[in-house]
Amino acid sequence: MHTVAAHQDESKSQYFWVWGVLLLLTAVEVVLAYRQVFQPVQMLEALMVLSIIKSALIIGYFMHLKYEARSMKWVMMTAVVACLCFMCIFFADAYRILELGVR
């Protein structure tokens, strides 16, 4: 019942605020990509951080995870961390195709 009560108190202005922040972050990403003020590694790091912030806003507000129970949030974050770990493990294995000469 707690999540239903909290969910009903939200207003459209909150969604417009989050939407505005998402637009601003997207504009920052586009400017960074076109100006290329950083080295490629720092650029990738900056864009990844901005993307993580944007995805957290989208998941929290538009997918309503902000109003879920704490256990649901932990399950979601555990799955995300597990996926990222698997990606790191298997992306390293994908580079061996360059050594095999297969293209």
Band of residue 2 on the pLDDT scale cut at 50, 70, 90: low
Q: Which residues, including other chains, have CB under 8 Å from residue 33's CB and lie 6 or more apart?
A: 43, 47
Which residue has 């961390």 as its token pair?
A: 81
Domain that includes residue 78, residue range: 69-103
Q: What's the structural domain count of the chain?
A: 2
Residues 49 and 87 in one domain: no
Both tokens of 63, joined, read 């997918």
| Same-domain pairing of 31 and 81 | no
**Per-residue pLDDT, 88:** 83
Cβ(58)–Cβ(22) below 8 Å: yes
pLDDT of residue 83: 87
The per-residue pLDDT for range 83-101, each reduced to its tens digit, is 888 888 888 777 777 777 6
The string of pLDDT tens digits covering residues 55-90 is 888 888 888 777 778 888 788 888 888 988 888 888
